[in-house]
């Protein structure tokens, strides 16, 4: 079930990086907190190649709306526990939000495999992840964006969620573990 939808007039708010952009995964990892939530196939690939399996990886088998190459797919095909969710493009589903909360509560790395699109998962990940964590996502043609989970970044993420169309209260309740 879709809880939130990105309105067309808000698409621009998601174009600007929410944190510093890195092109070197090892440098990013040196600055990252714990746990690490990776949103995107290429980001997850680069973190794994650099020797760090994200605690939570949200992937959909695509990059820039095209299937990832064999090399990336092979690295992403690991032994981690998988949660399968449906999440339509430009939306956040109940299943996606629940999977984020469930994966963050796990002691072992979890891959959330999305049928649809995972692009908006960064925002609820910032709300659900504990302070001190890091959320990493891809900035097309630029690199990887590192967002530290702080009271400020969490407040900004909650504000962005509130600007999406749909049931913000239900979404925040699900992310706070109340739903």
Annotated binding site: 41-43, 60, 62, 118, 141
User: Cα 122 to the chain's mean position, in Å?
Assistant: 4
- Looking at the DSSP bridge assignments, the partners of residue 92 are 4
Six-digit token pair at 41? 């196939």
Measured CA to CA, the distance from residue 18 to residue 23 in angstroms comes to 15
How do beta strands 66-67 and 91-93 pair? unpaired
Residues 6+ apart with CB under 8 A from 23: 142, 143, 144
List, as residue ranges, the binding site for GTP: 41-43, 60, 62, 118, 141
């Amino acid at each position: 079930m879709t809880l939130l939808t990105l309105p067309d007039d808000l698409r621009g708010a998601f174009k600007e990086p929410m944190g510093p952009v890195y092109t070197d995964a090892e440098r990013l990892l040196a600055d990252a907190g714990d746990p690490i939530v990776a949103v995107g196939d290429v980001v997850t690939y680069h973190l794994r190649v650099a020797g760090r399996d994200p605690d939570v990886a949200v992937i959909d088998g695509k990059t820039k709306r095209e299937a990832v190459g064999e090399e990336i797919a092979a690295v992403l095909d690991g032994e981690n526990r998988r949660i399968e969710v449906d999440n339509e493009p430009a939306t956040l589903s109940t299943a996606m939000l629940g999977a984020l909360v469930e994966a963050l509560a796990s002691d072992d790395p979890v891959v959330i495999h999305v049928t649809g699109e995972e692009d908006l998962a960064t925002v609820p990940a910032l709300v659900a992840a504990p302070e001190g964590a890091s959320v990493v996502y891809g900035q097309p043609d630029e690199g990887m964006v590192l967002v530290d989970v702080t009271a400020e970044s969490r407040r900004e993420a909650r504000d962005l969620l509130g600007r999406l169309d749909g049931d913000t209260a239900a979404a925040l309740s699900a992310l706070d573990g109340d739903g």
